[in-house]
C-alpha cells in the first residue's frame, strides 16, 4: 500500500537549512495497521504530509495506493483518506452538509453521496447530528466526524495524524474501537502518535522515528523484547545482598531493581533461591518493558516526558 | 469516477461556502448597513445633483471593502484543518480559490443592487442597462480584490497581521480613488497620486456608466487588476498547496 524510498524534506529557514526528514523508507502492506511513533518534532508529521501529497519531498520517491507520489499526486489523493491533526470540518457548517460536500469533492454523485453519508453517520455513531452545527459537537464527536470525512470515498488506505490528541480517556477508547473496526473491515491504516499506549494498543507494527530518521521497526512486542529483560523490583531489608547477585542492580533504600529475561517465568525459581539463602522479602513486582523503555533504549530519551511536555 | 472538471469543482466549492450564508442571510443585511449610512448621512451633503456622482463611487467602495475583507473567512479554515482536508481531496486548487471568490462576488452584487435601489428613493436615476453594466464592473473589481485578499490571508495566516495589512492598503486606496470628493478639488500632487491609483480609474468608469463620459480607462484598469489579482491568487493557492 505504501512503498517509500529515501523520502526526505529539507526546510530553508533564516538560520540555514533544516533536514526535518532525512531519507526514510516506509513499507506498509495491505491490511496492516502501522503506528508511526516519535516525539514532537521528530519528523512524523512532515513524513505524513509528504505521503499524503501535502508537501513536496526534496528527495526520494514513493508509490501510495498504487499511484506514484511525484508523477500522479491526483491519483494518490483519489485513493487515500487523510485525517489531519486538527478538525477538518468548517465551524460554520452543518454535519451532513460537510459530509455530503466532501463526498462530492471525491466525485460521488449527489445520490451516492447521500447514501454514503447516511452509512457513515451510522458507522461512527453520529446519527441525529445531521443538522447540528459542527461548532456544537463535542471533541469526540468532531473527531469521529473527521474520520468519517476521510472515509466517504471508501479509501483502501487511511492516514491518521495524532488521532486522539486532546480527547478525554473515554472518547479515546471509543475512537480506538472505531479505528480497529476500520482495520477489521480491511482498511490499511497508517497513524502517527506520540502516545505509547495508543501505539501499543492499536498497531500491528511500529515505525519509530527520531531526528528525521527511522530508528526502529517491529511489532510492539518485538520492540519490547529488544529491551534486555523485564524489570524486577524486590522490597527487602537485605537489599545489598540481593543486589550483589544480579548484574546492574540498583538499590534504593529497602528496594532493589534489576532486569532479567522473561521475568514472569524466572521469578518463582528466583524467589526460591533467595529464600534458600535466607533473604526476607516483603514485596515483589515484575514490569514488562514498556514502549517508553524501548524508546529510551533506542534514542536515549524518554518519550513520556515529551508527551507530557506537549 | 467521472473525470474532474474545473467548473464542477468550482461550483461545489462555491456551494459549500454559500450554504451557511443562505441558511443565515442576516449577515448580508448587516453588510449593507455601512453603505446605507453613507447614503443617508453623507450623500445629502453633496446637494441635489450629487447622487449621480456619489452612488457609483459608493458602489466601488463597497466592492473594495466587501471583498478586501473576504480573506478573513479563510483564516479559521486555515487554522483548523479545513483547508488541509480540502487539499488532500482531488479538488482543483484553483477551484478552492475561485469558488470562494465567487461567493463574495455574488454577495457583493446582491448588496450593490440593494444599495442602488435604496439610492433611487433618494433621487438616484439609472436605467436597467446602466445598472447591469454598473454591477458588472463592480463584480470584476470584486474578483480582482477578493483573489488578492485570499492569497494574502493564506500567506499571513494571522488575523492581527491580516487586519493591519488591510488597513494599511485599503484606506490609501480609498482616499486616493475620489470616492468621497472629487480629486480635482485638491492640489495637483494629490490629483496625480490619484491618477496612479487604478481604483480611481474604476471609480471614473463606474461614474461614466451613469453619466456622460468614457469608461475606457476604467475598463483597462479593472481588466489589468483582474489579471494580476487572479494570477497572484491562483499562484499562491497552488504553491501553498504543494
- Residues B123-161 have pLDDT tens digits of 899 999 999 999 999 999 999 999 999 999 999 989 999
Full DSSP string of A150-195: HSTT--SEEEEESTTTT--HHHHHHHHHHHHHHHHTT-EEEEEES-
Contact A80 B90 (CB under 8 A): no
Q: Which of B79, B88, B242 sits opposite A56 (nearest CB)?
A: B242
Contact B77 A97 (CB under 8 A): no
- Mean pLDDT in residue range A267-284: 88
Is the pLDDT higher at A16 or at B228? B228
- pLDDT category at B203 given cuts 50, 70, 90 is very high
Say how far apart CA B71 and CA A93 lie, in whole Å.
Answer: 18
Contact A90 B79 (CB under 8 A): no
What is the model's pLDDT at position B242? 42
Q: Which of B16, B88, B99, B237 to mutate to test the interface with A (most CBs of A within 10 A)?
A: B88
For the stretch B82-114, pLDDT in tens is: 999 999 999 999 999 999 999 999 999 999 999
The distance of A243 to chain B (nearest Cα, Å) reads 54
What is the model's pLDDT at position A310? 45
What is the model's pLDDT at position A304? 58
Q: A140 with A167: CB under 8 angstroms? A: yes
Contact A101 B1 (CB under 8 A): no
Percent of chain A residues past pLDDT 70, beyond the cut: 96
What is the model's pLDDT at position B238? 86
Residue A258: pLDDT over 90: no
**pTM exceeds 0.90 for this model:** no
Residues of B near A (Cβ–Cβ under 8 Å) read: 1-2, 4, 9, 12, 15-16, 19-20, 23, 76-77, 79-82, 84-91, 241-242
Contact A105 B4 (CB under 8 A): no
User: Which of A131-145, A223-237, A293-307, B40-54 shows the highest mean pLDDT?
Assistant: A131-145
- Classify residue A282 by burial, with Cβ atoms within 10 Å: 0-12, 13-18, 19+: exposed
Mean of per-residue pLDDT scores for chain B: 91
Residue B1: pLDDT over 50: no
- Domain span at residue B84 reads 6-240
What is the model's pLDDT at position A164? 86
Contact B82 A82 (CB under 8 A): no
3-state percent breakdown (helix, strand, coil) of chain B, nearest 5: 80, 0, 20
3-state class of A282 per DSSP?
coil
Tell me how many residue pairs between chain A and chain B have CB atoms under 8 A apart.
Answer: 76
Contacts with B79 from chain A: Cβ below 8 Å: 86
Q: Which of A82, A91, A97 sits opposite B88 (nearest CB)?
A: A82
For the stretch A165-210, pLDDT in tens is: 878 888 889 889 999 999 999 999 999 988 888 888 899 999 989 8
What is the model's pLDDT at position B117? 94
The distance of B3 to chain A (nearest Cα, Å) reads 8
Domains for chain A: give ranges and CATH numbers: 2-224 (3.40.50.300), 228-288 (3.30.70)
- Mean pLDDT in residue range A272-283: 88
- pLDDT category at A108 given cuts 50, 70, 90 is very high
Residue A258 has, within 13 A of its CA and on its CB side, a CA count of 19
Mean of per-residue pLDDT scores for chain A: 88
What is the model's pLDDT at position B150? 96
Contacts with A52 from chain B: Cβ below 8 Å: 88
**∠A280-A286-A291 over CA atoms, to 5°?**
155
The DSSP element (H or E) to which B170 belongs, if any, is: helix B159-175
Scanning the structure block, which residue is given the C-alpha cell 487586519? B163
- Mean pLDDT in residue range B48-67: 91
Spatial CA neighbour of A305 closest among A194, A226, A202, A207: A194
Q: Which of B16, B76, B88 sits opposite A54 (nearest CB)?
A: B88
The distance of B126 to chain A (nearest Cα, Å) reads 38
Contact B82 A90 (CB under 8 A): yes
Contacts with A92 from chain B: Cβ below 8 Å: 20
What is the model's pLDDT at position A274? 87
Say how far apart CA A83 and CA A86 lie, in whole Å.
Answer: 8
β A255-260/A230-235 pair status: antiparallel
Contacts with B91 from chain A: Cβ below 8 Å: 105
The distance of B30 to chain A (nearest Cα, Å) reads 17
**ipTM field:** 0.87
Q: Which of B74, B82, B83, B100 to mutate to test the interface with A (most CBs of A within 10 A)?
A: B82
Q: Which of A45, A105, A116 to mutate to test the interface with B (most CBs of B within 10 A)?
A: A105
Residue B1 lies in a domain: no
Contact B87 A55 (CB under 8 A): no
Look up residue B120 and give its three cell numbers: 433611487
Q: Which of A54, A86, A105 sits opposite B91 (nearest CB)?
A: A105
Spatial CA neighbour of B236 closest among B148, B169, B141, B160: B148
Residue B205 lies in a domain: yes
For the stretch A209-255, pLDDT in tens is: 988 999 889 998 888 777 767 888 889 888 888 888 888 888 888 88
What is the model's pLDDT at position A295? 77
- pLDDT category at A267 given cuts 50, 70, 90 is confident
Contact B84 A97 (CB under 8 A): no
Q: A299 with A227: CB under 8 angstroms? A: no
Say how far apart CA B179 and CA A230 lie, in whole Å.
Answer: 80
Contact B89 A102 (CB under 8 A): yes
Instruction: Using CA coordinates, name the residue in chain A closest to B24.
Output: A92
Q: How many domains does chain B have?
A: 1
Contact A78 B82 (CB under 8 A): no
What is the model's pLDDT at position A160? 94
Percent of chain B residues past pLDDT 70, beyond the cut: 97
Contact B90 A105 (CB under 8 A): yes
Other residues' Cβ atoms within 10 Å of the Cβ of residue A12: 9
Q: B147 with B233: CB under 8 angstroms? A: yes
Residue B3: pLDDT over 60: no
Residues of A near B (Cβ–Cβ under 8 Å) read: 52-56, 74, 77-78, 80, 82, 84-94, 97, 101-102, 104-107, 146, 149
Residue A60: pLDDT over 50: yes
Amino acid at each position: 500500500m505504501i512503498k517509500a524510498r529515501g523520502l526526505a524534506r529539507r526546510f530553508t529557514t533564516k538560520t540555514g537549512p533544516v533536514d526535518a526528514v532525512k531519507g526514510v523508507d516506509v513499507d506498509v502492506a495491505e491490511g496492516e495497521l502501522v503506528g508511526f511513533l516519535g516525539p514532537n518534532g521528530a519528523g512524523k508529521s512532515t513524513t505524513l504530509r509528504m505521503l499524503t501529497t501535502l508537501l513536496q519531498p526534496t528527495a526520494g520517491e514513493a508509490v501510495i495506493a498504487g499511484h506514484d507520489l511525484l508523477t500522479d499526486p491526483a491519483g494518490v489523493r483519489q485513493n487515500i483518506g487523510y485525517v489531519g491533526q486538527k478538525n477538518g470540518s468548517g465551524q460554520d457548517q452543518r454535519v451532513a452538509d460537510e459530509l455530503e460536500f466532501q463526498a462530492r469533492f471525491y466525485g460521488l454523485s449527489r445520490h451516492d453521496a447521500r447514501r454514503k453519508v447516511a452509512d457513515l453517520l451510522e458507522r461512527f455513531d453520529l446519527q441525529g447530528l445531521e443538522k447540528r452545527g459542527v461548532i456544537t459537537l463535542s471533541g469526540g464527536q468532531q473527531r469521529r466526524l473527521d474520520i468519517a470525512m476521510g472515509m466517504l470515498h471508501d479509501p483502501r488506505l487511511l492516514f491518521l495524524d495524532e488521532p486522539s490528541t486532546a480527547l478525554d480517556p473515554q472518547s479515546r477508547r471509543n475512537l480506538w474501537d472505531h479505528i480497529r473496526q476500520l482495520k477489521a473491515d480491511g482498511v490499511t491504516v497508517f497513524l502517527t502518535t506520540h502516545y505509547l499506549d495508543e501505539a501499543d494498543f492499536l498497531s500491528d507494527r511500529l515505525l519509530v522515528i527520531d531526528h528525521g530518521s527511522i530508528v526502529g521497526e517491529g511489532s510492539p512486542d518485538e520492540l519490547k523484547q529488544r529491551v534486555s529483560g523485564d524489570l524486577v523490583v524486590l522490597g527487602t531489608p537485605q537489599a545489598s545482598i540481593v543486589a550483589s547477585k544480579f548484574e546492574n542492580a540498583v538499590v534504593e533504600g529497602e528496594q532493589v531493581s534489576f532486569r532479567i529475561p522473561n521475568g514472569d517465568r524466572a521469578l518463582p525459581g528466583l524467589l526460591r533461591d533467595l529464600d534458600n539463602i535466607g533473604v526476607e522479602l516483603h514485596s515483589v513486582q515484575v514490569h514488562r518493558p514498556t514502549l517508553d523503555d524501548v524508546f529510551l533504549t533506542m534514542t536515549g530519551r524518554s518519550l513520556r516526558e515529551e508527551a507530557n511536555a506537549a | 469516477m467521472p473525470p474532474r472538471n474545473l467548473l464542477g469543482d468550482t461550483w461545489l466549492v462555491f456551494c459549500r461556502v454559500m450554504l451557511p450564508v443562505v441558511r443565515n442571510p442576516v449577515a448580508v443585511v448587516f453588510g449593507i448597513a455601512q453603505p446605507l449610512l453613507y447614503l443617508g448621512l453623507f450623500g445629502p451633503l453633496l446637494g441635489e445633483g450629487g447622487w449621480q456622482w456619489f452612488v457609483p463611487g459608493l458602489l466601488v467602495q463597497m466592492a473594495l471593502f466587501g471583498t478586501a475583507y473576504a480573506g478573513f473567512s479563510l483564516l479559521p479554515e486555515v487554522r483548523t484543518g479545513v483547508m488541509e482536508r480540502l487539499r488532500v481531496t482531488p479538488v482543483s486548487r484553483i477551484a478552492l480559490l475561485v469558488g470562494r471568490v465567487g461567493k463574495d462576488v455574488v454577495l457583493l452584487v446582491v448588496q450593490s443592487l440593494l444599495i442602488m435601489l435604496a439610492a433611487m428613493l433618494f433621487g438616484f436615476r439609472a436605467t436597467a442597462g446602466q445598472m447591469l453594466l454598473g454591477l458588472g464592473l463592480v463584480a470584476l473589481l470584486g474578483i480582482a480584490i477578493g483573489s488578492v485578499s485570499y492569497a494574502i490571508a493564506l500567506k499571513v495566516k494571522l488575523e492581527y497581521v491580516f487586519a493591519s495589512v488591510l488597513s494599511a492598503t485599503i484606506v490609501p486606496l480609498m482616499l486616493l480613488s475620489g470616492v468621497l470628493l472629487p480629486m480635482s478639488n485638491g492640489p495637483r500632487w494629490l490629483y496625480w497620486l490619484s491618477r496612479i491609483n487604478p481604483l480611481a480609474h474604476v471609480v471614473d468608469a463606474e461614474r461614466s456608466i451613469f453619466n456622460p463620459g468614457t469608461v475606457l480607462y476604467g475598463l483597462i484598469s479593472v481588466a489589468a487588476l483582474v489579471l494580476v489579482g487572479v494570477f497572484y491568487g491562483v499562484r499562491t493557492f497552488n504553491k501553498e498547496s504543494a
